[in-house]
Amino acid sequence: MIFIIIPVRNRCSKTLECLRAISTALDAYSHRIVVIDDGSTDQTAEMIRSTFPEVKIITGDGNLWWGGAVYLGIEYAVKNLADQIVLLNDDCRPTPEAWRSMIDNSSRETEAVFLADIHSNHQPPVRLNSTLVYKKNDSKSDLDELSNATGQFVIFTAFTVKQFGLPGKKYCPHYYDGVMFPFWKRQGAKIYRVNGARATCEWEAMRALEPYDRLLISPSSLISYFWFCLFHQKSRYKMTTRVSQMCTRHGLFKGAVFAVVRYTIFGFSSMQSYVIRLAGSGESEFRRRIELLSDHSLRKAVLSELRPGTPVTFS
């Protein structure tokens, strides 16, 4: 039995579209869909119950975030005798061939995580899940081993969860995939990208950039910028999140050293960007940095999003 875990919040139409696509693609497979609705106020749960009564809904109070939601979903799947577990974001659209390829690969290797070949919805598309960096669509092999994985569309066995366990989510409630998969890898699990398993995901190219680059064109004050980056749950630079991820990947000592170095660079770079912005050269410096990007697809995607009056976020 395949359990498909989908964390959602206030995206009713996207969630329903996702469920319809799954029903079509997995008609030949024994599967169970589990939606974790973290406090939606747009009647997501009610619409799912009326349209897809077979879907299991687990409700949260709005404080689960992505990590807490998938944690509950994985626990539920294991307790209910799942064989394979899929994590899927509701804005991710795998092809039917991607589903088959992911399931087949996971069936052959029980102590591995398989990540789909996920691309952005830009033209040309940008690959979103290389080895912790963004790369173009240039791989020629069937499987690429990765050092980490993102949770948009992944599959692993319940045996993997039982064998390696689930790390705590207290310090990393949103970007939990950055802790869970390295936690398993350090214990011997493999992480692969299945290059033939194509899926498309909604994506903002700006989010691929460092926050201090985006600060050049953001109207935020320096105080609100640092508060968001260091303490907001959705920030990749949230201190407990980043330190937890680094220590999980590299061990306590190395992780702490890397974190100190990373935050030192982050602080100096942020101050530099803020001074440049105050001097009135923020947008020209931002465009200069974008032109230096080696990934032409990413560069084109960022420039296409750069519009006057467009809000710039740091998550």
Predicted confidence pLDDT, tens digits, the chain (315 residues): 999 999 999 999 999 999 999 999 998 899 999 999 999 999 999 999 999 999 999 999 999 999 999 999 999 999 999 999 999 999 999 999 999 999 999 999 999 999 999 888 766 677 776 544 334 445 567 888 888 898 999 999 999 999 999 998 888 888 999 999 999 999 999 999 998 899 998 877 777 788 999 999 988 899 999 999 999 988 989 999 999 999 998 999 999 999 999 999 999 999 999 999 999 999 999 989 988 887 777 788 888 777 655 555 555
Q: Answer yes or no: pTM beyond 0.85.
A: yes
Strand pairing category for 56-60 and 31-38: parallel
Q: Go through the domains of the chain in sequence order and give each one's CATH number.
A: 2-201 (3.90.550.10), 205-305 (no CATH)
pLDDT at 169: 83
Q: Return the pLDDT at 312.
A: 57
Max intra-chain CA distance, the chain: 61
At 46, which helix (H) or strand (E)?
Answer: helix 44-51
Q: What are the pLDDT digits (tens) for 24-77?
A: 999 889 999 999 999 999 999 999 999 999 999 999 999 999 999 999 999 999
Cα separation, 255 vs 313, whole angstroms: 27
Q: Which is nearest to 143 in space by CA: 118, 119, 114? A: 114
Quick one: CA torsion of 190, 193, 195, 196, rounded to 10 degrees? 80
| Polymer length of the chain | 315
pLDDT digits (tens, 9 = 90+) for 232-249: 988 989 999 999 999 998
Mention every residue, 6+ apart, whose C-beta is less than 8 A from residue 92: 18, 116, 118, 152, 153, 199, 200, 201
